[in-house]
Amino acid sequence: MEREKKELSTIHERDIDKLLENTGIKNDFLAGKLHCKFCDEIVNRENVYSFLPESGAINVICDKPECVTELLSYVEEKKKKITEK
């Protein structure tokens, strides 16, 4: 039985354009309407660190060291939950 497999992955710069197109958030991104999941700062091409696809939505993470750290522990936490099952 195929369990719902939600690969938790982060996406880096070279994939940004493709991802923006595919998810339909390109306009919001270009318009500066996307906020960092952790610090709520507006994320644009200058300060984007990563995208985190999650339950049908795309979270964006800025490149502040504390947000990057937070992202890493967040992803770890998620992984733990998945493997605990």
* 67 binds Zn ion per the rule CB under 5 A: yes
Mark the segment that binds Zn ion (CB under 5 A) among 4-12, 13-21, 23-31, 54-62.
54-62
Minimum separation from the CB atom of position 38 to Zn ion (A): 5
* 36 binds Zn ion per the rule CB under 5 A: yes
Q: Which is nearer to Zn ion, 20 or 52 (CB)?
A: 52
Compute the distance between CA of residue 85 and CA of residue 82 in angstroms, rounded to an integer: 6
Planar angle of CA 52, 53, 54, nearest 5 degrees: 110
Cα 60 off chain centre by: 4
